[in-house]
Amino acid sequence: MKGRNSVGVAILYVVIGGIVGSLLGHFLSVLWSPLGHDYFDLGSPTGPWTLNLGVFGVSFGIWLQLNLGGIIGIIGGLWWYQRRGS
């Protein structure tokens, strides 16, 4: 059970690091523009994917945009998790 909890905590650190890094990258991009450039896009932020079956429909939407600040934040989250564990 300890290993499963450890993976959840690691994912939490990575997500928080990515969010904080992405926000910092966005705001600090006025000082150095590569921080705010989107290097990785997955999904569509314009709208969800929709499956219309006539009687009912299902919509699902998820997207991911990583800038350099977010990538640095993810690496920082992994580093912080490793540091916390030792």
pLDDT by residue for the chain (86 residues), tens only, comes to 456 678 889 999 999 999 999 889 888 888 888 877 777 777 766 677 788 888 888 888 777 888 888 899 999 999 999 988 75
For residue 38, what are the domain limits?
2-85
Using DSSP bridges, classify how beta strands 38-43 and 57-60 pair: parallel, antiparallel or unpaired: unpaired
How many domains does the chain contain in total? 1
Whole-angstrom distance, CA of residue 54 vs CA of residue 57? 7
pLDDT of residue 1: 45
Element (H, E) at 18: helix 2-28
Q: Supply the pTM of this predicted model.
A: 0.71
